[in-house]
Amino acid sequence: MKSRTHNQESLVIVYDAEQVQHPGPHLFDETYWRERGAVEGEAAGRGSALFLDTPFGPAVLRRYLRGGWPAKVSRDRYLFNGWQRSRPQDEFRILADLATHDLPVPHPLAAITRRNGPFYTGALITRRIGGAETLADLMESRCGDAGLWQSVGACVRRFHDFGVVHADLNARNILVDEQDRIFLIDFDRARISRGDTRSCASNIARLKRSIEKLWPPAVAAQMEACWHALLEGYGQEGEST
């Protein structure tokens, strides 16, 4: 991976020069891709992610959007505190670092930060993980597969051992591909802080709350066994967290 920076007036784009040959703001323009028939779908949630067929392969374009009460003030504007501290640039760097160390994350392709006075907007393009489904979508069909849940726990442990503190570890940010490989996504506001065991424990507790909230009622009796298998994979056998 070769990270490069493209500066143009009041915007900065950081990109992988091995994958993206012609960086520019057009890459982050939804209309640009729709006019070319390159939009293949959209992610569930806030409607901020598009699945694209690009010249540099299948990709996901995600705008940085606010949720909750901050969205009432501004849906997509953030206070500018420097290019390197903007959320798109920061997430690109973290993903590049994790990918370089062979951690299972989507490969970062490009990120843009646009400044407008004291504020900025941004977007990120990553490689799309083919044939992947979220753990949330697989809960009912794979509730009897202890091996899958152990793999999820082992994957999370790899990130924690590296020092990654995920800002929103939940069942929708864990992907399972067609070979049952596990990936983590959405590293907005994530950080690397080796030895921060308290934050890692908080991550696990957050994941459990997410699983409890999203668990299908039809297989309610299987939830505890799946969570126990996840903890086994993580290395916390017998703990309920």
Q: Shortest CA distance to 50 belongs to which of 99, 134, 123? A: 123
Quickly list DSSP for 22-69.
Answer: S--GGGG-HHHHHHTT-EEEE-SSSS-EEEEEETTEEEEEEE----ST
d(CA 60, CA 62): 6
CB atoms within 10 A of CB 18: 12
Which pair of structure tokens corresponds to residue 122? 């941004």
Catalytic residue among 53, 168, 177, 196: 168
The verdict on whether 29 is a catalytic residue reads: no
Angstrom CA distances, 97 to 2, 14, 38, 66, 103, stand at 12, 14, 29, 25, 9
Residue pair 24/38 in contact (Cβ under 8 Å)? The answer is no
Which pair of structure tokens corresponds to residue 87? 């959320």
d(CA 36, CA 169): 34
Residue pair 54/87 in contact (Cβ under 8 Å)? The answer is no
Angle at 202 between CA 125 and CA 234, to 5 degrees: 80
Which pair of structure tokens corresponds to residue 176? 């399972």
Active site residues: 168
